[in-house]
Structure 1
């Protein structure tokens, strides 16, 4: 198994404890459930959290249910929860600017995006986040997950989220081309892995730096099942012949 595949599929770390503890809290105070949520690796961490799979989803679902059943909001923001998404053209312009500012260094894109966003108003950062989440959902498809699986030598549910972060960071043209034909990603030069987890937390960091507190987030991007037809690993060479040939998948 490759190092990347191990990174994408290994244990659940804090989320295991969070999920178990959250279940114990079911008959206790939902207020304390917010503390469990806060203990999970969040978008505001300076370092990426551990790869967490179904355990994190279980913990998140349970906490959302606890919060909803008690009327407790687990996300605290200075901005209204009904903020509208940023217009797509403006959103992609910001993405392209961050990509250009980072140059050839993929890992500089998150900090480049954060630097652009921190110069904007809190309302605009929140609108950017809303549009970002819409793009994550748009790319939440089984066929793209299959492409990510081939390109990364394996891909967990969290790995697929980080793959979509990378895909958004590449800009509108590549993003929309991938949605139209995932096998077209075979044209991308090979690298160790295709993930960019911290790109997805740039807006949260910028929002916090400007004194906005916790950015309002929609966790549908984390919890919604992918669209389309689920595949088996044996299906992938036929579904993505170009990618399978490039990455030696048989």
Structure 2
């Protein structure tokens, strides 16, 4: 929760500015949407994730309807705003679960190779990017990090999507004027960044052959 709150606060101003700059783009997506009165919002902290198929349908539609990461972020926020407040929280929790399930040393190795380096935060945003590529891509790479080669785009140097981390929070804030993380039942929902396992790395960037052993295809094609 502490990490989530810090990320949300540090990103809120930048995102609000960006969304303001893109108000023309979002007008068609948000037209007719009615804000939820904060006086009538009565919501207890939740640990219930959004139905996975509904979650992926929202992500998949954002891929089909947009061409840039910036537009995908705007589209996702607009779509999530159409959910109920509890479902918006559920979208965030489903994201947390998917991030938790891919927090492992093998995928971190793959992220390091494809991005030419990967910090703690970079690994989080790399996995956000992976989720943003859709259900099929997510599960293929989760099961085999070398499957990332199928997602490599010529000329693209960065495979991260920081804004994806915040889409549900921004949608919730826009609709309720409240902070989403205050409505997460952290006592029950524990698959989040506060409870990531301690990783035992078997690869070392100073010993490249250890990385090749984990991701031979990525290493052969991308390691420099």
Partner of 2:219: 244
Per-residue CA shift, 1:124-179, capped at 9, x if unaligned? 11111111111110111111111000000000000000001100100000000001
Q: 2:144 aligns with which of 181, 199, 204?
A: 181
Distance of 2:135 and 2:96 partners within structure 1? 15
Residue 159 of structure 1 pairs with residue 87 of structure 2: no
**TM-score, normalised with respect to structure 1:** 0.67
Partner of 2:66: 102
Q: 1:237 Cα deviation (Å)?
A: 1.6
Q: 1:78 Cα deviation (Å)?
A: 6.0
Distance of 2:73 and 2:56 partners within structure 1? 15
Distance of 1:166 and 1:186 partners within structure 2? 14
The residue correspondences of 1:82-161 to structure 2 (distance < 5 A) are: 82-103=46-67, 105-161=68-124
Unaligned runs of 5+ in 2: 17-40
Residue 46 of structure 1 pairs with residue 14 of structure 2: yes
Unaligned runs of 5+ in 1: 1-33, 49-76
Residue 223 of structure 1 pairs with residue 176 of structure 2: no
Contact 1:166/1:194, CA 8 A, preserved across alignment? yes
Per-residue CA shift, 1:30-72, capped at 9, x if unaligned? xxxx9xx669744533349xxxxxxxxxxxxxxxxxxxxxxxx
**TM-score, normalised with respect to structure 2:** 0.74
Contact 1:125/1:207, CA 8 A, preserved across alignment? yes
Aligned residues: 185
Contact 2:96/2:193, CA 8 A, preserved across alignment? no
